[in-house]
Structure 1
Amino acid sequence: MPSEQVSRRRWIRIACSSAHAPLSLFVVLVVLASCPVACASHPPPDALAATRDALAGLDDFGALLLGAGLPVEAIPQGRSVSPVQAERLRRYFALLPYLPQHYAPRIVADELLRYVEQHRQEVSRWDLSRMVQEYRNLFLLRQDGYLAAALTGEPAQCVGPVEVRDDGAGAGEFEIGEFYTRRDGESWRRADRPNLDKL
């Protein structure tokens, strides 16, 4: 009987000693367990927070400027655009290189900014966003020969290589700087510029 108790104790001791992990393993587990807590209490700074916030509050006018190639940080803040801001943005666009998809939105943005300058007083962002909608069914001929949506710059149709002419530049019956439109199944036709003064 005593030998049976010794044997039982011996097996309990063996089981317990085999369950003990080395001290170094416990140290590693403690460090790993405390790391998420330490990292969560000091999150890294959000590098794109300003960009995300600016894009979240973007109106149609701001989206147009962004589509025209203006960096997010250069989009004017506030509820209106002053003639001074409009002039500054037009100069910025004149110096800023652009991709083909920026061309049509840049033409529209320039027209709206020129309107603000000529108006000689602040124009609300709400009014400018309303004016943007007047261009939603219009297209412009890009220098690469594509008719592109005025607001997005998305190409709709290639009409041929652009050539320099006596009165400007164009491809076939299309001219650079003129607006065009078409309805489903119809051919392209020239469209009048939106009359921003009547809006």
Structure 2
Amino acid sequence: MPSEPPSHRMWTRVASRSVSPPLRLLVLLPLLASCPVACASHPPPEALAATRDTLAGLDEFGALLLGAGLPVEAIPQGRSVSPVQAERLRRYFAILPYLPQHYAPRVVADELLRYVQQHGQGLSRWDLSRMVQEYRSLFLLRQDGYLAAALTGEPAQCVGPVEVRDDGAGAGAFEMGEFYTRADGESWRRAGRPNLDKL
């Protein structure tokens, strides 16, 4: 004899049990729903905020120091650079290891910092940034034999291996520590150091 089909009430009970969520889920749902709001109201601290803010406010002089290999946190803040700060930065550069692309900007930075020390009083960042512009078309010989842009360290041309000489070091007709420029875009010639006193 065929069994009697389950009653309508029984099917309703089975269906309601299969769709009812567990109690733990009911407790967690309000917490999960509130999480995005809670996270949005309390953003995590930004690890690189200080670095970002420093880079956002970087002037020409600060960019030169950065290109010379100075860490972001060591770039002086404020509207001027004092002789004491200049001396400290020069000492920093003396012990800081550097890559070939840092060499030319470091030479320029050292000249400007030495000028601040010899000047005997603080120089405004605006004046220092103006002085940086005097080096924009100059190049220096790096230790790896490349003539590199004085402000960026970007290599322009390889002129040969650098050799130690009686009066310094150089490659071919080029001497380390001397500035060079391209008069016609092709041939190199020695350029004098910018006269920072006239600025």
SS at structure 2 position matched to 1:157: strand
Q: Are 2:183 and 2:189, in contact at CA under 8 Å, matched by a contact in 1?
A: no
**Aligned counterparts of 2:116 and 2:69: Cα–Cα separation in 1:** 20
Structure 2 residue aligned with 1:105: 105
**Aligned counterparts of 2:173 and 2:73: Cα–Cα separation in 1:** 39
Structure 2 residue aligned with 1:72: 72
Greater alpha carbon shift after TM alignment, 111-120 vs 175-184: 175-184
The share of aligned pairs that are identical, in percent, is 85
Matches within 5 A, 1:10-29: 18-29=18-29
Deviation for aligned residue 1:144: 0.8
**Aligned counterparts of 1:188 and 1:31: Cα–Cα separation in 2:** 71
Matches within 5 A, 1:129-140: 129-140=129-140
Provide Cα deviations, 1:5-41, integer angstroms capped at 9, x if missing partner: x95x777766655543232333343332222223233
**Aligned counterparts of 2:146 and 2:26: Cα–Cα separation in 1:** 67
**Aligned counterparts of 1:13 and 1:56: Cα–Cα separation in 2:** 66
Matches within 5 A, 1:21-100: 21-100=21-100
**Aligned counterparts of 1:26 and 1:174: Cα–Cα separation in 2:** 79
Alignment coverage as a number of residue pairs:
193
Coordinate RMSD, CA, aligned: 1.9
Provide Cα deviations, 1:107-147, integer angstroms capped at 9, x if missing partner: 00000011111111111110000000010111100001111
Provide Cα deviations, 1:46-84, integer angstroms capped at 9, x if missing partner: 221111111111100011011111111111111111111
**Aligned counterparts of 1:102 and 1:142: Cα–Cα separation in 2:** 9
Structure 2 residue aligned with 1:3: none
SS at structure 2 position matched to 1:38: helix
In structure 2, the CA distance between the partners of 1:185 and 1:71, relative to structure 1 (3 Å rule), is: closer
Greater alpha carbon shift after TM alignment, 109-118 vs 13-22: 13-22
**Aligned counterparts of 2:54 and 2:14: Cα–Cα separation in 1:** 65
Structure 2 residue aligned with 1:159: 159
Whether 1:176 and 2:173 are equivalent positions in the alignment is no
**Aligned counterparts of 1:49 and 1:23: Cα–Cα separation in 2:** 43
User: Which runs of no fewer than 5 residues in structure 1 stay unpaired?
Assistant: 1-5
**Aligned counterparts of 1:158 and 1:178: Cα–Cα separation in 2:** 16
The alignment's TM-score, normalised by the length of structure 2, stands at 0.88
Deviation for aligned residue 1:183: 4.7
